[in-house]
Structure 1
Amino acid sequence: MSNFSLRNIGWKPFFQQQVSLEELETGVVARVSAHHGSQILMLGEAGEFSIPAQLAQAADESAGGTAAGEAGACGIAVGDWLLLDAQDHRAIRRLERDTLLFRKAAGEEVKPQVIAANLDTIFIVTSCNEDFNLSRIERYLALTLQAGATPVVVLTKADLCENPAELRHQAEQLHAGLLVETLDARESEQADVLKSWCGPGQSVVLLGSSGVGKSTLANALGTGQLATGGIREKDGKGRHTTTARSLHLLPSGGVLIDNPGVRELQLPACEEGLTDLFEDVLVIARNCRFSNCSHEGDAGCAVMAALEAGELDQRRFASFQKLNAEQAHNSRSLAERRERDRKTGRMYKSMIDKKRRRREES
């Protein structure tokens, strides 16, 4: 790969101000483009190279984190910027993240899983067939708003739907000012409507279920020939093809992160994202007679009144209740896990100090 500027891969003043002139004299900055087990693939001004994942993780643990919702979300992610030693590419530190997309990790244990970092726009991709689900889109929207990135809903496979315009209208009602595009990703010219978010220095990610056409869309935007699958006749779903996150340069000047389909999507601590997403419900709830109204038959409940009058959609309110209960549970569990980790860390430190004192006394 020939040399290119850092701006082409998303370098901005936010990151520039974190690195001193002295550090740039002895170090280099590069962006994580893929994670391959024991090695992490990087992109810098000199092109592609790899560094040991173990050393990069050490740099991550010493980094600060103030991106939206970042507390507790550790681990080097695709999209991260690292400061490296210029001689041996040893990772010195991870730069503070501008934005961070993460979810609750799959499984019973409640812990955050980083999806991608330093994103400008998140394309929430779903198809105009049996996969279309407003409540699922709301989950993706909550994560996107929590991350601090701009959401754009992309409805693919428009050729498989009799009235894609109606689905687009339904999606637009989920959040004030939400941008929704409808297209057939196999037609590259239709994907041109997304290129205004993929210009020089811009970073975008594809987020959605398996088989909705994310790889096809990525190819249409210019990533190259990513593997794609056909439609299963039994349920109208596409076949899962992407297996790992990777950062790709786009001919429009930006970068795109192709993300594996999400099979299980539970919300982590996501209060800010949900507050933004369901502002319309919260505005109604403020008119309830009691501040601790459960919205389940309490006297003077403005939410129940709005539901009965048809001013609030029953599906949307059910989604509001479900997602808030889920994130509240996971938020409590995350806080408890962090407290356990802190106590364990203090215990280990105490044990090490005792051993050191015994050695000094002997």
Structure 2
Amino acid sequence: MKLGWGPSFQEAWGSHASGGVEPARIGADYGVEYVLYSARGDMRATIPGRLRMAIRKGESVRPVVGDWVAFEPQSQEGTTLIQAVLPRRTQLVRKAAGRADEEQVVAANVDVVFLVSALTRDLNPRRLERYLAVAWDSGAQPVVILTKADLCEDVEAARERIAALAPDVPLHIVSSVTGEGVDALWRYIGGTRTVALIGSSGVGKSTLINRVLGTARQEVGEMREDDKGRHTTTHRELFVLPQGGLVIDTPGMRELGMMENEEGVRTAFVDIEELAATCRFNDCHHENEPGCAVQAATRDGRLAPERLENFRKLQQEATRLERQRDAQAQARQKQETKKTTRAFNDFQKKRGR
């Protein structure tokens, strides 16, 4: 099935097969309304009150672009209802902007994540390190895409600078204007694979998608004086490519907070993890301890001090969020225990009458 249906979803569908519903994939998310792609064609859909309540209680997840869902084939006034969300294979998660412990799923069931940054003055290795940590934690394969090669005076210097962040992660230099490097991306796109693009506003995600699609499906803003494109994507959308494969465009991310993805941090900074394994002390904090291999690497130039600083920052962020969630979970458990005790005492009083 060209929408990305596979064995895991077929197995999960077993519990819905006799419920009078059909499968569809979320193609666009407009907040209160969705677009579904299904064997019946494209259709609008909303979430019924029952599912909204289950989402609030934590008994279900909110559908996002890339999700497979069960929907009612009978629609009313052109809009159908989403009745259930199938289990996800992978999911891209970030901390919701301004929320201490609330996660936001950016896209679901993604096979490859294109981490897009522009070869302009806005090129930021520290931001790419954060993207890499989130991508590794998602379960999808990260690929770094550096766009706007036609605006860069020293492409090779930029390539070496970024490649050093993650030597084992594929890196591609492209220009959506000239077409340079775009054909090489097809090795990740095609078949039933789903590719999601994430990156800051104005780095050229929508322009790249238009180039891959071969048509101007995504609106693109004109270039500003600071070499940034104007941000135009306002919602997440899944595009089905005529040659096969699916691509998800996302709005530019001003904030990409961590959500307890310590494993993702360790994978994104595998060079530091390998150095740490040779420190004299197992509990080394890589600060002033004797025999610290990490600090030795910063002194002799093998490890950039700013990379170590970003590693510490992301680790602390993930640890802090985990502690906050543990504390909140304990508080909720305490409240539930009080309610249960109160209900039991009330029951005992009634029996004693």
Q: Calculate the TM-score normalised by the size of structure 1.
A: 0.86
**What's 1:242 paired with?**
233
Q: Distance in 2 between matches of 1:42 and 1:77?
A: 11
Q: Which moved more, 1:135-144 or 1:306-315?
A: 306-315
1:181 partner letter: H
Aligned CA-pair RMSD: 3.0
Q: Which moved more, 1:222-231 or 1:173-182?
A: 222-231
- CA pair 37-25 structure 1, distance change in 2 beyond 3 A: closer
* Residue 249 of structure 2, aligned match among 250, 258, 263: 258
1:107 partner letter: G
Aligned to 1:91, what secondary structure does the other structure show?
strand
Report the identity percentage: 36
Cα displacement (A) at 1:353: 9.3
* Residue 163 of structure 2, aligned match among 151, 154, 172: 172
Aligned to 2:98, what secondary structure does the other structure show?
coil
Q: CA deviation digits over 1:258-292, x for unaligned, max 9?
A: 10000011211111111111121112112222222
Equivalent pairs counted in the alignment come to 347
Q: CA deviation digits over 1:233-281, x for unaligned, max 9?
A: 1x32221111111111112211111100000112111111111111211
**What's 1:3 paired with?**
none
Q: CA deviation digits over 1:10-65, x for unaligned, max 9?
A: 11111111122871673211111122233222111111112222455456679989
**What's 1:13 paired with?**
7
The answer as to whether partners of 1:123 and 1:153 remain within 8 angstroms in 2 is yes
2:3 partner letter: I
**What's 1:52 paired with?**
46
* Residue 80 of structure 1, aligned match among 67, 79, 97: 67
The answer as to whether partners of 1:59 and 1:93 remain within 8 angstroms in 2 is no
2:319 partner letter: A
Q: Distance in 1 between matches of 2:228 and 2:165?
A: 23
Structure 2 unmatched runs, 5+: none
Counting only pairs closer than 5 Å after superposition, residues 1-362 of structure 1 correspond to structure 2 as: 7-20=1-14, 23=17, 26-55=20-49, 56-57=51-52, 74-87=61-74, 90-188=81-179, 190-222=181-213, 224-233=216-225, 235-341=226-332
The answer as to whether partners of 2:240 and 2:247 remain within 8 angstroms in 1 is yes
- CA pair 249-341 structure 1, distance change in 2 beyond 3 A: farther
Q: CA deviation digits over 1:51-104, x for unaligned, max 9?
A: 222455456679989xxxxxxxx4221111112344465434211110010101
Q: Which moved more, 1:157-166 or 1:328-337?
A: 328-337
Structure 1 unmatched runs, 5+: 1-6, 66-73
Q: Distance in 2 between matches of 1:244 and 1:22?
A: 29
1:16 partner letter: Q
- CA pair 185-298 structure 1, distance change in 2 beyond 3 A: same
Q: Calculate the TM-score normalised by the size of structure 2.
A: 0.88
Q: CA deviation digits over 1:193-220, x for unaligned, max 9?
A: 2122220211111100000011101111
1:53 partner letter: I
